[in-house]
A and B are shown apart, each in its own frame.
Chain A
Amino acid sequence: MTALEPVIGLEIHVQLATETKMFCGCRLSFGDEPNSHICPVCLGHPGVLPNVNEQAIVYALMIGEALGCEIAERSTFHRKNYFYPDLPKGYQISQYDHPIAVDGRLGDVRVHRAHLEEDAAKLSHKGASGRIHGSGASVVDFNRGGTPLVEIVSEPDIRSAAQAREWAQLLRATLASLGVSDCNMEEGSLRVDGNVSLRPAGSDELGTKTELKNMNSFRFLERGIEAEIERQRELIESGQEVEQETLHFHPDDGSLTPMRSKEYAHDYRYFPEPDLVPVVPTAEMREAARAALPELPAARKERYLTELDLPEATAASLAFQPELGGFFEDALAANSDATPRAIANWVTGDLVAALREQDLGEDPYRSKAEPREIAALAAMVEGKQVSHSAGKQILAKLAAEGGTAAGVVESEGLAQISDDSEIDAMIDAAIESEPEAADQVRSGNEKAIGRIVGAAMKNSQGRIDGGLAREKILERLG
Chain B
Amino acid sequence: MPASEEICRLSATELIAGIEAGSFSPAESIEAWAGAMESDDLNAFLWKGVEGGAEQGSGHLSGLPVAIKDIFCTSGIPTTAGSRILEGYKPPYSATAVERLTEAGAGLLGKTNMDEFAMGSSNENSAYGGVSNPWDRTRVPGGSSGGSAAAVAGGLAPCALGTDTGGSIRQPAALCGIVGLKPTYGAISRFGMIAFASSLDQCGPLTRTVADAALLLEVMQGQDQRDSTSVGLEAPIELPSSTDLDGVRFGVPAELVGGDVGIEVGVREVFEQTLSRIEELGGEVAEVTLPHAAHGISAYYVLAPAEASSNLARYDGVRYGLRVEADDLVSMYERTRSEGFGPEVKRRIMLGTYALSSGYYDAYYAQAQKVRTRIAEDFTAAFQGVDFVVTPTSPTVAFPLGARTQDPLSMYLSDFCTVPMSLAGIPAISIPAGLAAPPEGGPELPVGFQIAAPAFGEQDLLEAAHALEMSIGFQRLDQREGEGA
Q: Give A residues with C-beta under 8 Å from B.
A: 40, 43-52, 79, 81, 83, 85, 88-91, 132-133, 138, 140, 262, 267, 269-271, 274-277
Bound state CA distance, A44 and B312, in angstroms?
Answer: 11
* Seed contacts A49-B190, A50-B228, A262-B330; 11 additional CB < 8 Å A-B pairs: A44-B314, A46-B194, A46-B195, A47-B72, A47-B191, A47-B192, A49-B226, A49-B229, A51-B228, A85-B316, A138-B329
Complex A-B: 13 CB contacts under 8 Å: A45-B91, A46-B79, A47-B73, A52-B228, A81-B309, A81-B356, A85-B318, A88-B318, A89-B313, A133-B328, A267-B357, A271-B307, A271-B361
Q: Give B residues with C-beta under 8 Å from A.
A: 72-73, 79, 81, 86, 89, 91-93, 95, 190-195, 197-199, 225-229, 306-307, 309-310, 312-316, 318-320, 328-330, 333, 353, 356-358, 361, 365
B193 touches A47 (CB 8 A): yes
A contact residues around B315 at 8 Å (CB): 46
A90 touches B310 (CB 8 A): yes
Measured CB to CB, the closest approach of chain B to A34, in angstroms, equals: 14
Bound state CA distance, A274 and B198, in angstroms?
Answer: 6
A contact residues around B310 at 8 Å (CB): 79, 81, 90-91, 269, 271
B contact residues around A46 at 8 Å (CB): 73, 79, 81, 86, 89, 91, 194-195, 314-315
Bound state CA distance, A19 and B86, in angstroms?
Answer: 33
Q: B interface, by DSSP: helix, strand, loop or mixed?
A: loop
Measured CB to CB, the closest approach of chain B to A274, in angstroms, equals: 4
> Residue on A with the closest CB to B227?
A49
A132 touches B314 (CB 8 A): no
B226 touches A88 (CB 8 A): no
Contact of A43 with B194 at beta-carbon distance under 8 Å, contacts A91-B313, A271-B310 already known = no
A271 touches B356 (CB 8 A): yes
Measured CB to CB, the closest approach of chain B to A475, in angstroms, equals: 84
Bound state CA distance, A81 and B358, in angstroms?
Answer: 12
Bound state CA distance, A50 and B319, in angstroms?
Answer: 18
Bound state CA distance, A85 and B315, in angstroms?
Answer: 11
Bound state CA distance, A49 and B73, in angstroms?
Answer: 13
A contact residues around B193 at 8 Å (CB): 47
Q: A interface, by DSSP: helix, strand, loop or mixed?
A: loop
A contact residues around B191 at 8 Å (CB): 47-49
A45 touches B307 (CB 8 A): no
> Residue on B with the closest CB to A41?
B226
A40 touches B319 (CB 8 A): no
Q: Would you list the 9 A-B pairs with minimal beta carbon distance, nearest first?
A: A90-B313, A269-B356, A274-B199, A274-B198, A46-B194, A47-B192, A44-B314, A47-B73, A47-B194
B contact residues around A274 at 8 Å (CB): 197-199, 229, 307
Measured CB to CB, the closest approach of chain A to B235, in angstroms, equals: 22
A132 touches B313 (CB 8 A): no
Indicate which residue in A43, A48, A51, A269 contacts B225 across the interface (CB closer than 8 Å).
A51
Q: Residue among A45, A81, A267 with the most chain B CB within 10 A?
A: A45
B228 touches A90 (CB 8 A): no
Bound state CA distance, A270 and B306, in angstroms?
Answer: 11
Bound state CA distance, A342 and B86, in angstroms?
Answer: 70
B190 touches A43 (CB 8 A): no
Bound state CA distance, A49 and B227, in angstroms?
Answer: 6
Q: Residue among A49, A50, A88 with the most chain B CB within 10 A?
A: A49
> Residue on B with the closest CB to A85?
B318
B229 touches A277 (CB 8 A): yes
A40 touches B228 (CB 8 A): no
Contact of A275 with B198 at beta-carbon distance under 8 Å, contacts A45-B91, A50-B228, A140-B318 already known = yes
Bound state CA distance, A277 and B72, in angstroms?
Answer: 23
Bound state CA distance, A91 and B308, in angstroms?
Answer: 12
Measured CB to CB, the closest approach of chain B to A434, in angstroms, equals: 78
A276 touches B365 (CB 8 A): no
Bound state CA distance, A50 and B228, in angstroms?
Answer: 8
B228 touches A276 (CB 8 A): yes
